[in-house]
Amino acid sequence: MIKVMIAKPGLDGHDRGAKVVARTLRDAGMEVIYTGIRQTPEQIVQSAIDEDVDILGISILSGAHMKLVPKILELLREKKASVPVFVGGIIPDEDVDKLKEMGVIEVYGPGTSTSEISEQVKSFVEHSDT
Amino acid sequence: MSDEELRKKYDVWDEKTNEMLKKFPERGNFRTTWEEDIKRLYTPLELGDYFEIGFPGKYPYTRGVQNTMYRGKLWTMRQYAGFGTAEESNKRYKYLLEQGQSGLSVAFDLPTQIGYDSDDAHSLGEVGKVGVAIDSLADMETLFEGIPLGKVSTSMTINSTAAILLAMYLNVGEKQGANRDKLRGTIQNDVLKEYIARGTYIFPPQPSMRVITNIFEFCSKEMPLWNTISISGYHIREAGADAVQEVAFTLADGIEYVRAAVKAGLDPNVFGKRLSFFFAAHNDFLEEIAKFRAARRMWAKLMKEKFNVTNPSAMKLKFHTQTSGSTLTAQQPENNIVRVTLQALAAVLGGTQSLHTNSRDEALALPTEESVKIALKTQQIIAYESGVAKTVDPLAGSYYIESLTDSIEKHAFEYIDKIEELGGMVNAIESGYVQQEISNRSYEYQKKIESGEQIVVGVNKFTVEETSSKRLLKVNDEIEKGQIGRLRALKRERDNKKVAKSLSVLENVARTDDNLMHPIIDAVRVYATVGEISNVLRKVFGEYKESITI
């Protein structure tokens, strides 16, 4: 069974999208851990490692993504955890490109179909080399 | 025609229509957002007791809180704004006032809302992002520089740190020569909905309720024109609630605040006048109009019957409305102008006291100046060109609107009863009941979009290939550095002995039952920061831990 963590870093409280995605993935047969809001990058990375998740989804709508996502990627690398990371939220196009260059596998904006996310998450995990 | 005759005629018509369906079927089933079947036709048979509809300015206020409504005074056009530094936001406010806006509405960044200074590790990446960064009175002085606080009314979206920001506002006002009893405005100060939906809580519910009650008491004595709370359904709705849930959970929060204040010995006839509300205006046009009318009637009944209020001013539900951010689409963003227009029109037909219209680009970023201008002009067109402000509550008596109003009231009261059975809103939140109800509705809605049962133009139907050449506002990342620099300089230059003393007085008061407002005002005056004051209170009150539901 695919084990996925949906996390909300930073101070952003907009959790509707994160919850809908978490529930979609759960209904698609995955084991889902939702962290709740206001997690620090350190907390998120630590729980992703402790829980040994296959993939990590990060939701941010506050505009803090260019600080928080790189921080999470850096901490994962430091801890030698090769967990694929995808991002959802309000992310301007230019930042999407930058995040992907840094190693984020996909970025989902408003209006994305959740079934599409669920299909892709499955395929990311199947094709990841961990 | 008697009801009986009408009923007969209706039955004949209905039977004939059902015959026709075999040849000309309807497009599908039609339901309200709370999943009640909508009839094909509404008739005078749906109209209940006229007392329930009544007259504007008269109990139960279904038709509005003033006798003349917009014939006397239009609603306040109040765009929520703020980003980056105090200096930048100050420029935006002056721009909006020049464009004909009639009141200010301040958006604070998340560190300010959650009680962290800009240099706190928790603030990483968030400084100046969703609103303006305020660390101390010095920032607040810059924010309102050249804006006469004695003349404008200012709404501040601030909750857990409302006491601190109100104390700063009052200090800036008095430095400008405007006494606190002359200041007009609103603080959101509604922490219960933060636990439910918005997420900027700090303390557990009990101490949070104490701070709120302290503010009620302070304002009823010293700031009589200030609205001490804006009990908010907006964020509950945006989190995925339907119209009934929005009304029910908001009013249930209201009940909890009134109960806490009464328990603290305050008179609801007095503080009840300064309670205000905040709702969303969503897509379903007629449903939304009915929602505002139902909420007004329900609150009047609750204040009168549950809290034995006799002062009519304390029964009136006055509210601000914002159009719905979650209905805006990143796809074909120009369509959002039309969505906002319909939503704003519903708010006006529902009798709102003030209104924020969202900008077309808000599913993508904070709005540009150009987009905000269109949003504000939308309100001006509704006010001055559409003609809807020429008479009071023009849709009253519509068979469907009245039927919807009754239905929302009935179902929302059922929810309120259920919450009372659970021991009130604090218990209902701590058990996760309210969050789960909203989450269920939000998930069902998403599934309807996926299945195509709910159409969103440009998203799951009528889509086009889009190029992404949208001009967006970008908050400069350098802001964080600049803000931290200013904060550190302030901490070096202020009188740190006075700060330390004011914080220790605050801590002592926090450990008693005395009102927290006075020591907070004193601490703010000597430039203690939002983070320092919040940390003192964190130490005494502890921090809330979210009950996680998905």
Query: Is there a domain that residue B229 lies in?
Result: yes
- What total of structural domains would you count in chain B? 2
- pLDDT-derived band at B469 (thresholds 50, 70, 90) equals low
pLDDT at B312: 98
Q: Which residues of B touch A67 (CB under 8 A)?
A: 124-125, 477
Residue B413: the pLDDT is: 98
Confidence of residue B1 (pLDDT cuts 50, 70, 90): confident
On whether both B332 and B384 belong to a single domain, the answer is: yes
CA distance A32 to A53: 9
pLDDT, position B468: 65
Query: Is residue B472 situated within a structural domain?
Result: no
Residues 6+ positions from A27 with CB-CB distance below 8 Å: none
Partner A, chain B 342-381, Cβ-Cβ below 8 Å: 363-366
Looking at residue B50, what is its pLDDT?
Answer: 84
| Residue environment code for B400-409, b if the CB has 16+ CB neighbours within 10 A, otherwise e | bbbbbbbbbb
> What local confidence, expressed as pLDDT, does residue A64 receive?
93
Crossing angle for the helix pair B496-510 and B517-525, to the nearest 10 degrees:
170
Contact B158, B165 (CB under 8 A): yes
Give the CATH number, domain containing residue B203.
3.20.20.240
CATH number of A3-128: 3.40.50.280
B92 belongs to a structural domain: yes
B31 and B80 in a single domain? The answer is no
Question: CB of A38 within 8 Å of any CB in chain B?
Answer: yes
My answer on whether B29 and B71 are in the same domain is no
- As given in the structure block, the two tokens for residue A45 are 């990375």
Q: Provide the pLDDT for residue A4.
A: 98
H or E stretch at B411 = helix B399-421
pLDDT of B301 reads 98
pLDDT band of residue B545 (cuts 50, 70, 90) is very high
Tell whether the model's pLDDT for residue B527 goes beyond 70: yes
The verdict on B252 and B103 lying in the same domain is yes
Say yes or no to pLDDT of B476 above 90: no
Taking 70 as the threshold, does the pLDDT of residue A130 lie above it?
no
Q: From B322, B326, B301, select the one nearest B251 (Cα to Cα).
A: B301
Distances (CA, A) of B235 to A62, B188, B374, B429: 15, 12, 24, 15
Q: Where are the domains of chain A?
A: 3-128
Rounded CA gap, B450 and B493, in Å?
57
- Within this chain, do residues B260 and B300 fall inside the same structural domain, yes or no? yes
Q: What does the pLDDT look like over B153-200, one tens digit per residue?
A: 999 999 999 999 999 999 999 999 999 999 999 999 999 999 999 999
Query: Average pLDDT of B91-110?
Result: 91
Residues forming a β-bridge with A87: A58, A107
Residues in Cβ contact with A71 at an 8 Å cutoff, skipping those fewer than 6 apart: A41, B124
Contacts of A26 in chain B (CB under 8 A): 550
**Probe site for chain B from A4, A5, A6, A14 (most B CB atoms < 10 A):** A14
**Residue whose entry in the numeric block shows the structure tokens 């218990």:** B427
Distant-in-sequence, close-in-space partners of B179: CB < 8 Å, separation ≥ 6: B173
Which residues are CB-neighbours of B275 under 8 A, at least 6 positions away?
B227, B228, B229, B231, B254, B257, B258, B314
Q: Is the pLDDT reported for residue B85 higher than 60? A: yes
User: A65 and B125 in contact by Cβ < 8 A?
Assistant: yes
| HSE (side-chain half, CA atoms, 13 Å) at B201 | 25
Question: How many CA atoms lie within 13 Å of B90's alpha carbon, on the beta-carbon side?
Answer: 15
Check if B125 contacts A (Cβ < 8 Å): yes
A29 lies within 8 A of chain B by CB: no
- For residue B486, pLDDT over 70 is answered with yes
Both tokens of B52, joined, read 């329930």
Residue A108: in which H helix or E strand, if any? strand A106-108
Please tell me the least confidently modeled range out of B42-51, B264-273, B343-352, B520-529: B42-51
Pick from B451, B471, B494: which residue ends a domain?
Answer: B451
Q: Determine which of B75-84, B382-391, B397-406 has the lowest per-residue pLDDT on average.
A: B75-84
The type of residue at A120 is Q
Whether B171 and B22 share a structural domain: no
Mean pLDDT of B498-504: 98
Distances (CA, A) of B25 to B19, B20, B30, B229: 10, 8, 13, 50
* Segment B85-104 mean pLDDT: 90
* Residue B368 and residue B413 in one domain: yes
Residue B547 lies in a domain: no
Alpha carbon distance B347, B323 (integer Å): 8
Domain that residue B35 falls in: 3-46
Asked if residue B409 is part of any domain, the answer here is: yes
Q: Are residues B349 and B378 in the same domain?
A: yes
Q: Sorting pLDDT into bands at 50, 70 and 90, what band is B470?
A: low
Mean of the pLDDT values across residues B485-502?
98
Which tens digits make up the pLDDT trace of A44-103?
999 999 999 999 999 999 999 999 999 999 999 999 999 999 999 999 999 999 999 999
Q: Residue B313's closest CA among B55, B58, B74? A: B58
Among candidates B110, B113, B548 on the partner chain, residue whose Cβ is nearest the Cβ of A34: B548
Cβ of B364 within 8 Å of Cβ of A65? The answer is no
pTM to 2 decimals? Answer: 0.95
Residues B318 and B428 in one domain: yes
Query: Judging by beta carbons within 10 Å of its beta carbon (0-12, 13-18, 19+), is residue B273 exposed, middle or buried?
Result: buried
Q: Is the peptide bond before B224 cis (omega within 30 degrees of 0)?
A: no
End-to-end CA distance of chain A: 14
pLDDT above 80: residue B317: yes
- For residue B475, being part of any structural domain is answered with no
What pLDDT does residue B33 have? Answer: 95
Please choose, from the candidates B531, B484, B453, the residue with its C-alpha nearest in 3D space to the C-alpha of residue B202. Answer: B531
Nearest to A62 among B122, B126, B240 (CB): B126
Q: Give residue B54's pLDDT.
A: 94
Q: What is the mean pLDDT of residues B234-254?
A: 98
In a domain, B120, yes or no: yes
- One domain, residues B41 and B123: no
Contact B30, B37 (CB under 8 A): yes
> Would you tell me how many other CB atoms lie within 10 Å of the CB of residue B431?
14
The distance between the two most distant Cα atoms of chain A, rounded to a whole number of Å, is: 35
Q: Compute the distance between CA of residue A35 and CA of residue A9 in angstroms, rounded to an integer.
A: 9
Whether B435 and B549 have beta carbons less than 8 Å apart is answered as yes
The more confident residue out of A16 and B82 is: A16
Residue B405: what pLDDT?
Answer: 97
Given a cut of 90, is residue B550 above it in pLDDT? no
E strands present in B379-491: none
* Total residues belonging to chain B: 550
Phi-psi region of B261 (alpha: psi -120 to 50; beta: other; left: phi over 0): alpha
Helix, strand, coil percentages in chain B from 3-state DSSP, rounded to 5? 55, 10, 40
Q: Which two tokens stand for residue A72?
A: 């999470």
pLDDT, tens digit (0-9, with 9 covering 90-100), for B159-170:
999 999 999 999
As a whole number of angstroms, the distance between CA B135 and CA B470 comes to 33
* Sign of the torsion formed by the C-alpha atoms of B109, B110, B116 and B118: negative
Q: Please, what is the average pLDDT of chain B?
A: 95
* Region B57-80 average pLDDT: 96
* B135 and B207 belong to one structural domain: yes
A114 to chain B, any CB pair closer than 8 A? The answer is yes
pLDDT at B40: 95
Q: Which of B417, B451, B485 is the last residue of a domain?
A: B451
Torsion of CA B116, B117, B121, B125, to 10 degrees: 100
Yes or no, beta carbons of B238 and A22 under 8 Å apart: no
Tokens of residue B231, six digits:
């009990």
In chain B, the percentage of residues whose pLDDT exceeds 70 is 99
Q: Kindly state whether residues B269 and B350 are assigned to the same domain.
A: yes
CB contact under 8 A, A110 and B363: yes
Pull the structure tokens for residue B488: 């550190």
Assess A96–B contact: CB distance below 8 Å, yes or no: no
